[in-house]
Amino acid sequence: MNFKWLSSYAEDLTDGSYDEVLNAKQLEKLLYLLELTDDPIIVEKALVTLGNNAAFSANQAIIRELGGIPIIGNKINSLNHSIKEKALNALNNLSVNVENQVKIKVYVQRVCEDVFADPLNSAVQLAGLRLLTNMTVTNDYQHLLSSYITGLLHLSLIGNGSTKVQVLKLLLNLSENPAMTEGLLSAQVDSSFLSFFDGHIANEILLRALTLFQNINNCLRVEGCPAGQPPFAKGSLFSLLYGEDCAQKMRALAHHHDVDVKEKVLAIMPKV
């Protein structure tokens, strides 16, 4: 491949000529371009095109086989938030493929750390959270987030509605795995977390918070560990969920106008 071709291809890409689904040869050229150029406009366009193509299952495998995951993954180190966001979006689409997750897992720790450092409620922060959510759909890599649970709980409290929902989606994935239950319950969290169980809060938040509680209950039963027994420190998620203040919230929610909310509450506390 010569640089004359590279320049021409870059111009085509910038002009938006590659919005269609690319074949393997075109993807190879695009990855080559992404690896060689430092032009932020071209890099961003290339990442968007790769991300769009990574939405198709066949291309998810092709990009991996072409060695594209580390080329894309390297761009999450960019100081340009827009480039970083596009790289995270591309990795997110690629992560739908289980074989791709094996290669993407090496970025999980970096993405976790960046999520807390990125501007609050920003597009790049949400992109990181979406990738982490995809990477925790199965139990395989959930342990990689063990040391970040307290931070995620805090982020759920300070973020806006979109951030809260995305963090709760991620925590829900973890809560379905009994191996993560102790880590969740021992995590320190501000008492304002109980505001997620207020009757007036948006259902997309309330139902997810209730499902989180329900999943933890279920995991405790699976482990044969009654809710009243595990020794967790004051200020932990356990002390909040199984304290009297939360019980009062549950009793109030038992009279909620939404049937789904009532069902969740009854599943959590049958005797409410």
Residues 116 and 83 in one domain: yes
The whole-angstrom separation of Cα 79 and Cα 220 is 42
- The pLDDT, as a whole number, for residue 1 is 46
Burial grade of 182 (CB within 10 A; 0-12, 13-18, 19 or more): middle
The whole-angstrom separation of Cα 174 and Cα 143 is 9
Q: How many domains does the chain have?
A: 2
Q: Is residue 10 part of a domain?
A: yes
Q: Is residue 140 part of a domain?
A: no
The pLDDT tens digits for 114-162 are: 999 999 999 999 999 999 999 999 999 999 999 999 999 999 999 999 9
Residues 4 and 72 in one domain: yes
Compute CA distances 252 → 118, 198, 203, 237, 265, whole Å.
Answer: 37, 9, 15, 20, 10
Residues 126 and 160 in one domain: no
- Domain end (from 135, 165, 180): 135
- Domain end (from 101, 135, 169): 135
- For helices 161-175 and 123-135, what crossing angle results, to 10°? 10
Q: Is residue 93 part of a domain?
A: yes
- The pLDDT, as a whole number, for residue 64 is 98
- The pLDDT, as a whole number, for residue 270 is 78
Residues 48 and 177 in one domain: no
Residues 7 and 121 in one domain: yes
pTM: 0.92
- Domain end (from 135, 156, 171): 135
Residues 127 and 26 in one domain: yes
- The pLDDT, as a whole number, for residue 11 is 64
CA 127 vs. chain centroid, Å, equals: 8
- Residue 180 above 60 pLDDT? yes
Residue bearing tokens 């939405």: 55
- Tell me what the mean pLDDT of segment 171-192 comes to: 96
Q: Any idea what the CATH number is for the domain that residue 7 is in?
A: 1.25.10.10
State the average pLDDT for the chain.
92
Residues 93 and 69 in one domain: yes
The pLDDT tens digits for 209-231 are: 999 999 999 998 876 665 555 57
The pLDDT tens digits for 253-270 are: 999 999 999 999 999 987
Residues 75 and 156 in one domain: no
- The pLDDT, as a whole number, for residue 44 is 96
Residues 72 and 174 in one domain: no
Buried b / exposed e along 135-145 (16+ C-beta atoms within 10 A)? bbbeeebbebb
Higher confidence at residue 106 or residue 1?
106
Residues 236 and 177 in one domain: yes
Q: Is residue 9 part of a domain?
A: yes
- Tell me what the mean pLDDT of segment 187-207 comes to: 97
Residues 42 and 106 in one domain: yes
Range of the domain at 60: 1-135
The whole-angstrom separation of Cα 56 and Cα 151 is 33
- Residue 233 above 70 pLDDT? yes
Q: Is residue 141 part of a domain?
A: no
The pLDDT tens digits for 7-48 are: 666 666 556 555 678 999 999 999 999 999 999 999 999 999
Residues 178 and 49 in one domain: no
